[in-house]
Amino acid sequence: MLLDARRAAGLSQYELAERAGIARPALTMYETGARIPGADVFVRLLTATGAAVESGPAGTRIDCWRNSEVFSSLTTVLDAVPVKEPGPLRFPAEVWRWHG
């Protein structure tokens, strides 16, 4: 998707990387699928090409900035949830002997 958007905008990798504020080698990895950009970088890249982010039936528009804010809030809440420390495994001794 990034490669198509960059080509449609008539930009070189160097130009797009400059506009988006990322390193050109990182853009190469994103375009080839060697790495997957985070939502913020993905939006910056698409915005720098002038492309719109759309999905769903009839091209329903996705507000990536709003979605990233919601995701960020969700991760903050999940980080605050207390975690129960793991205890000892509760497998019977027979299971360990049978597999071992």
pLDDT greater than 90 at residue 70: no
* CATH architecture classification, 2-78: Orthogonal Bundle (1.10)
- The continuous run of DSSP H or E covering 38 comes out as none
The per-residue pLDDT for 76 is 75
| Band of residue 13 on the pLDDT scale cut at 50, 70, 90 | very high
The values of phi and psi at residue 61, to 5°, are -75, 140
pLDDT at 66: 65
Q: Which runs of consecutive H residues, i.e. helices, occur in the chain?
A: 2-9, 13-20, 24-32, 39-49, 64-80, 93-99
Q: Kindly state the helix (H) or strand (E) to which residue 51 belongs, with its residue range.
A: none
Q: Count CB-CB contacts under 10 A for residue 81.
A: 6
Q: How much is the pLDDT for 82? A: 75
Say if residue 5's pLDDT is above 90: no
Contact (CB, 8 A) for 13 and 7: no
Can you tell me the distance from the alpha carbon of 79 to that of 72, in angstroms, rounded to the nearest whole number?
A: 11
Report the predicted TM-score, pTM, of the whole model to 2 decimal places.
0.53
- Output the pLDDT for position 94: 57
User: How confident is the prediction for the chain on average, in pLDDT?
Assistant: 77
Q: Quote the tokens at residue 18.
A: 């400059």
26-50 confidence digits (pLDDT tens): 999 999 988 888 888 888 898 899 8
